Chain A
Amino acid sequence: MISNEATKRVEALPTYTRNIPKSQEVGSQYKAQTDWKFIEVLSFYLGGVGTGLYLLSQVFDYTIGLIVGYLLVVVGKNGAHLLASSKPFRAIRVLSKPGTSWISRGAYGIFIFAVLGLVDIGMRMGIGSVDNAALAFVVTVLTACAAFFIMAYVGFVFAEARNIGLWNSPFIPAIVICYSFCMGYALLLVLAPFTQQQFDFSAISLQFLLTLAITVLMIFILLTVVKRMTKSAEQGAKMLLSGKLSTTFLVGVVLAGLLIPICATGYYLANAATASGSILSIAGLLTLLGGLLFEMCLIYAGVYRPIVDAE
């Protein structure tokens, strides 16, 4: 029979008698992905901003916006993708699997956009001798479809990762699309004061406000729903709300990137006659910053399911 003294001695021992190095337990721990870093964040961000601006510039017939949007996608996004790749000279190979791979499909979208976008901008600027309204309309529609596809495919790339709970959600493609439109409006509002073109700022700011509000709602739904989906999704959401990304997410994305622009745009709309247009530009800049931080948070909060100990 064990004496009381012996029992006390045993109870006083630490939980583990040997310190197991963390690396040996890694298979059973939740951890965030580390393969995609800031350069990937940048490529997705530039793609979102560029396509958002391009689509809105088509609607508002804003040539400067079309050119900036086109360059952001074709030069910025593609450049960042090439920098992120370890074998950029094999980039053409990404066109190999459009049947199953969303990245491959996105690459086709970018290729079509790069060609048709150039034709679209050229026709709008009157370059060349093509004077066919029907052809111009077809080119515009096809370019818009390609731009929208580039905007959307990123969300599906994320959603395909079945082992990363936060990404494997049907809300992600919707949020990515909403955010791209937000950033498109934001860049439009930042660029507009520097150009000669006249805009109906009341209408644009109302649309911007609605897009921001929908984005906030979508993010709220995602974080509410995702917590109940899987444990890895819950861990990802926790990382955003109370973990190491919480300051960036809550202050940078939610407050500075969404709520302040909503208030600023709302204020502008309420006082359209007297309010300064620079309020909208500031709201736009904050949304652009928030968009970059959102992409960062989304990618860095991609928490895997542990290999061992299935959920």
Chain B
Amino acid sequence: MKPRKAIILLLLIFLVSIAFRLYFSFQTEYYSDSDSFFHIRYIGHIKEDYKPMNYDPLSFGGRQMLVTQLPFFDYILAGLSFIPHAYKIIPTVFISLTVIVSYLIALKLTEDNTAALLSALMTAFLPSILTPTLNKISVFSLILPLALYMVYCLIRIEEESFLNQFVILCFILPIIHPLALLVSASFMIYVILVASEPDLKINSLRKEAIIFSIFLALLIEFIIYKKAFLALGFSIVWQNIPSQMLSEQLEQANLLELIYSVGIIPFIIGIVGVIFGITKDKTHPMLITISVAIAPLALLALKMFTLSNTLIVLGPILAIISAITMKKFFTYIRITKFSRYELLSKYLVLALITLTIIIPAWSTAGQVIQGTITKDEITVLEQIGRETSKDMVIASSAEEGHYVTYFAKRKNVIDKTFLYIPNIDSRYNDIKTLYTTIADSEALEITHKYGINYIYLSHRTKKIFGIRGLKYDPDGKCFRKVANVGEVEVYKVRC
């Protein structure tokens, strides 16, 4: 394939990716997770004050915010907020850039435009990237393409322009997200992989760049999370996520679901590509890419990385490595009797990708959009916001915490910004008990403990806790239903 044609096709995939995402995003005026609404509040604060939010009066009933939320991504969005629908369009463009970076890495691995383009196409529709980033304001939209581009720069580090870009990214990445430490860990794994190969040697410049990136990432993260490191020690890698939430996540995950998240085709041919890479094509670009796949898996095995974060990184990497298998397949076809069907074989792979990734992506995207906050939820939350005084505390699940702070503009008891919250396990379990207990005395103990005035109960809450409603004293002396629209209810605590 001619390079010019490849570039046109790549741009087409990039634009299709943007169009696909925006098509679904604009089916609703809201966002598909509660964290996005926290970002909107944060960006609003930046636009008003120009400073990062030091104190959030609503999250966890009021908390210090310093360094729990690295503001770089929010500053970018605040700066670009003059663009209409900026919070929908900008993250979409950012995450779609992953397609281009995937192509670049795959091309470097295979030097085959067709394989690289197919791998870029897979990346565009991977469920593991779609679910956490579609119609959501997520820092992963920015960090993922940047991290992959950093890997690409390391592969081409001998060229001065890439060296300079690598240096710049070494500074930028750690201030956006701690995922920079994962990239450093990957580079360390690459060094170990090369050391275990007697025929390979890391060139000096790449070694220097790796040393530099590791030290810089460590220093920046230590500066940013100084207090958290001192308070939580090494367990900061868990970001203070409640232990029950972590174990629930791991319990719920099964191999089939994992394969589905990464994508069946990228998973299978990606693994085959890894095997080729480790056994036959032991090149530096190959080992660098494989090490990026190994790092999150190793950290997940050590319970130092969440499953969802692992999948976000693993998905595109396997899609990139898939290019190796596809190239081998096309080359193999070329030297067999079926060589005249080479073009057909490429269409066959394209059809397979369409059937197993692109079409299921449509349904995945539909599910994500279906999970968006509903009109009923918003109506109830806004009503509670109007009818209550500002210091009221509303209990909700952690997943809905920022719906409470954004729509009702009232204090929540828990949300998903866990870092620095003391006794988070106890708080998380208490909220679970509040929704699942049958004893009103136990529920009252919890409402008194956190000063809860209202209990928010939506279809989402019911699904999260596996309940059909509150089992204790509904509409009794101590808990009175004060709002009910559709499936969404709010109870007032009266005792």
- Genuine A/B complex: no
